[in-house]
Amino acid sequence: MTAGIPGGDASGASGESDGSDSASTGARHSRTRLAARDLSHGFGDGAVLDGVSLTVEPGEILAVVGPSGTGKTTLFRLLAMFERPDEGAVEVGGDDVWDLPEARRLAVRRRVGMAFQTRSLFSTTVEENVSYGLRVRRPWSVRVRDAVGGLFGRDEPADTVSDALRTVGMFDKVDRDAGSLSAGEAQRVAIARALAPDPDVLLLDEPTSNLDPRNTAAIESAMRAARDRGIAVALATHDMQQARRVSDRTAVILGGTCIESGPTDAVFESPDDDRVRQFVEGKLVY
Ligand SMILES: Nc1ncnc2c1ncn2[C@@H]1O[C@H](COP(=O)(O)OP(=O)(O)OP(=O)(O)O)[C@@H](O)[C@H]1O
């Protein structure tokens, strides 16, 4: 079990300059939650999200489920702070991230790891991909020292990189070129890259869509490992069985609105909303 990650929690982030040296300080802190408060968002004239509120707590997996096109990716892009919501707030540790000065928002964003549907690895080795997030979090002095050190021979992968790759079952491919990986392997490396900096929050948007059972199982196992380390894991999926297998709580999004959320067993076995019942029974087809 890991108690926390370097860098201070969100409420304590006001003391940070920009968070860029957080990984080297060794300071530990308790993890923080991520919340959506009354989020509404759209594109042009079309509303996609309408007043969505949900929270993902440290040490839990929240599944956000709903049919294709219902707004899950839009929601996760807002939670990842890629763009500002039209209305409502994204809160980390109780702060509305868009009320924070830009440097602090950047520091907060660095504590959110994410892997989205699209293939996103760099054209380099698996190790370089996974260590990328660590490198950008270190101060220049450490980066220069390591670069100079690297001139005198190849270092072993840092423990954090090895740990992250082991978590997704990809340590044996540490030296492989990322371009040579299968889609499932690439997705596992993308998740390792998100995990390596030991984030507070992990956002996974359809991480196993189109993957075979072996890769799916490896990714689900990594989600559980992240949860057991105290990370708040949010998973967007249209795979109801996956939500049931891995999540502690489930939020159902329909037509851009969260129509039900609660413990996964309750949502699946005795939903309050009849549309949710039909959806979990596979009777509501879109
Ligand atoms: N950048 C954009 N510009 C215009 N419309 C968009 C944009 N992004 C998403 N949309 C629209 O918003 C709606 C919700 O899309 P979103 O990708 O969030 O749904 P989803 O639930 O993640 O679907 P899927 O499971 O198929 O990925 C869709 O109608 C989509 O076409």
What are the domain boundaries of the chain? 11-280
237 vs 153, which has greater pLDDT? 237
The residue whose C-alpha atom lies closest to atom 16 belonging to ligand 1 is 71
- How many angstroms is it from 35 CA to the middle of ligand 1? 21
Reading the block at residue 26, the tokens are 């060794």
Backbone CA torsion sign across 101, 106, 112, 115: positive
Give pLDDT tens digits for 183-225. 999 999 999 999 999 999 999 999 998 889 999 999 999 999 9
Which of 126-140, 167-181, 249-263 bottoms out in mean pLDDT, i.e. has the lowest? 126-140
Ligand 1 proximal residues by C-beta, below 6 Å: 43, 48, 66, 68-74, 238
ipTM, two decimals: 0.94
- How many angstroms is it from 130 CA to the middle of ligand 1? 28
- How many angstroms is it from 48 CA to the middle of ligand 1? 7
- How many angstroms is it from 58 CA to the middle of ligand 1? 27
For residues 188 and 168, is the Cβ–Cβ distance under 8 A?
A: yes
Strands 61-65 and 232-237: parallel
Give pLDDT tens digits for 26-57. 334 578 899 999 999 999 878 999 999 999 99
For residues 112 and 93, is the Cβ–Cβ distance under 8 A?
A: no
Ligand 1 pocket mutation pick from 45, 64, 73 by most atoms within 8 angstroms of CB: 73
The residue whose C-alpha atom lies closest to atom 30 belonging to ligand 1 is 69
Whole-number pLDDT of residue 158: 65
Class of domain 11-280: alpha beta
Reading the block at residue 285, the tokens are 């087809």
Mention every residue, 6+ apart, whose C-beta is less than 8 A from residue 166: none
As a whole number of angstroms, the distance between CA 240 and CA 270 comes to 15
Strands (E), the chain: 34-43, 46-56, 61-65, 87-92, 95-96, 112-115, 201-205, 232-237, 249-254, 257-263
Closest ligand 1 atom to 75 CA: 18
Mention every residue, 6+ apart, whose C-beta is less than 8 A from residue 101: none
Model's pTM, two decimal places? 0.83
Whole-number pLDDT of residue 12: 33
